Structure 1
Amino acid sequence: GMPVDPGNLLVLGTLDGKRVVGAPGCARSPKENGFDWVLDRLIAGLDVTASDIAGMGVGGLLMEIPTRPQPREPTPHPARSALKVDIVLLAAGRSSRMGGPNKLLALFDGEPLVRRTASRALGSKAASTIVVTGHQRERVRSALGGLEVKLADNPDFADGLASSLKAG
């Protein structure tokens, strides 16, 4: 398979010395896709391996080309004002790579980093800001005093970042 849009799952093989190509659904698409690229190589007499096919997908989604029409109706996007975005500020870590002090409590322009970051998050257009605490939770919460953030505790903070995301 080729990791592109539209997805290209191909069947390539040989039978009695002849090339067999299982045409995927994208072969009917008016949008240029990886199946076109495979056919170009086969017609040129080049061998096409699984590695070649996977490599053709590098670079992401294929763009529309002007010589072919859109293959499907455009998807309507919700209005930006309809989107709700919340911020989850991860503040549960042990700062172990710092080799000692909790970097969240380090002062920048006289303000703890965690407070400075939370203030910036509150100043955004996000619907809410959730701060996940864990290591030194009371000190971190104290540094956030007076800010209108939601607090979430992660008692499993030592298990890693994923546990903090889950708590948030």
Structure 2
Amino acid sequence: MIHELLIVVAVAAVLVILWRQHRVSFVDELGIEGDLIWIDEGRHTKPFFNGAFKVFGKPDALYRTRAGVVAVEYKSRNGPVFDSDVTQAFCAALAARGEGYRVTQVLIKTSAVQKSFKLPTSDKALFDRIQPAVFNARQAKFGYAVPSRPEIKKCRSCGFRGNCDHSAA
């Protein structure tokens, strides 16, 4: 009986060690010391919603750290982080806050760069940072014309460049 119990304890210890090694190697790649607590698994993953500010969004992943929750946004391009990426990530963080996640930081990673942003502690202050973009998105949703800011580097990779009157490319 004791012999079998020792075997179970030894197997459990080996599994814990292997799990921690795998987790740490993945976390080290991003530079986040924490535990993965949520991941976007695609279209069937419901977005978060912040009822106070009426915004939806979903980060690609959430990590719990000592300082709070870090929202991660991956971009597959081999280029810089754009202002629109920051706005999208901030909106997703605000939406996650509406569902109880205390998001304190956003990390945006492209193939070329990785940028981290500390978020305001107040939801109102965070919303104020993205409010102009939220307003424009709501206007566009209801069919109103919204300002465009074409840039050659963005237009080259835009999926709508063939249909756009404002294309800089």
**Both proteins in one fold, TM over 0.5:** no
Look at both structures and tell me which one has the larger radius of gyration over its CA atoms: 1
TM-score under structure 1 length normalisation: 0.24
TM-score under structure 2 length normalisation: 0.24
